[in-house]
Amino acid sequence: MSSPNPVPTPAPATTANPLLKAAAPTLVVALQNMQQMITTIITGDPMQAPARVVPAAEIFLAQLVLQLPGLAGSELLAGGADLNAKIGNVITKLKAL
């Protein structure tokens, strides 16, 4: 006896976005820096936590700024490689005509 509502099959896995893959290491470092900022703020005397917010946030933002050149370089390489692959596919299709 068949079920009136069949169980849907999962969609096939897709490949990861090349730009996201290129940015992943930088994002991991940024999140780790954010964890460190939070730890810095909440560690120690709770009455002094507000006094630690601004210095911890300034350090975190400076660390983010230092990550930008690496992120830009990896994004540029990944975007260029993806674009070249797509252009190559168009060339292949045109040659097949």
Q: Is residue 65 part of a domain?
A: yes
Side-chain half-sphere of 38: how many Cα atoms within 13 Å? 6
Specify the pLDDT at position 60.
93
Long-range contacts at 67-72 (CB < 8 A, ≥ 24 apart)? 67/26, 67/29, 67/30, 70/26, 71/23, 71/26
**Which residue numbers in the chain have pLDDT < 50?**
none
Q: Is residue 4 part of a domain?
A: no
Specify the pLDDT at position 39.
94
Q: Are 81 and 18 in contact (CB under 8 A)?
A: yes
Q: Is residue 35 part of a domain?
A: yes
Q: Is residue 8 part of a domain?
A: no
Radius of gyration of the chain (CA): 23
Q: Tell me how far apart the alpha carbons of residues 36 and 29 are, in angstroms, rounded to a whole number.
A: 10
The number of folded domains in the chain is: 1
Q: Tell me how far apart the alpha carbons of residues 57 and 85 are, in angstroms, rounded to a whole number.
A: 41
Specify the pLDDT at position 56.
94
pTM for the full predicted model: 0.63
Structure token digits, residue 87:
């252009």
